[in-house]
């Protein structure tokens, strides 16, 4: 049986892993990587985040693609001003 501390720690670990997942997608997008299987990932990626990416590599590639689009739109808006 898990203690409340262990449950809270697991929730925090998952939340941080998902934040790192988004940061990894941004890292890939900024460098022009697709996020597909075999494309580079950021150095020092946590094991939990790596597991999330490996669990559904297609979803990670889609996140990278969506992030690249969002970054491009941000740059476009900045140049419009």
| pTM, full prediction | 0.86
Question: Cβ neighbours of residue 24 under 8 Å, at least 6 residues apart?
Answer: 41, 42, 45, 49, 53, 60
The pLDDT of residue 1? 65
User: If you ran DSSP here, which 8-state letter would residue 1 be given?
Assistant: -
CA distances from 35 to 4, 38, 44 (A): 36, 8, 16
Domain map of the chain by residue range? 4-80
Residue closest to 16 by CA, chosen among 45, 55, 54: 45
Two tokens, residue 58: 């297609």
User: If you ran DSSP here, which 8-state letter would residue 39 be given?
Assistant: S
Per-residue pLDDT tens for 13-56?
999 999 999 999 999 999 999 999 999 999 999 999 999 999 99
């Amino acid at each position: 049986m898990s203690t409340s501390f262990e449950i809270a720690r697991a929730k925090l670990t998952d939340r941080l892993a998902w934040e790192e997942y988004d940061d990894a997608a941004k890292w890939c997008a900024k460098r022009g990587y697709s996020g597909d299987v075999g494309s580079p990932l950021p150095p020092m990626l946590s094991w939990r985040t790596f597991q999330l990416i490996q669990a559904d590599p297609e979803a990670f590639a889609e996140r990278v693609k969506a992030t690249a689009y969002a970054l491009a739109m941000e740059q476009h808006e900045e140049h419009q001003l």
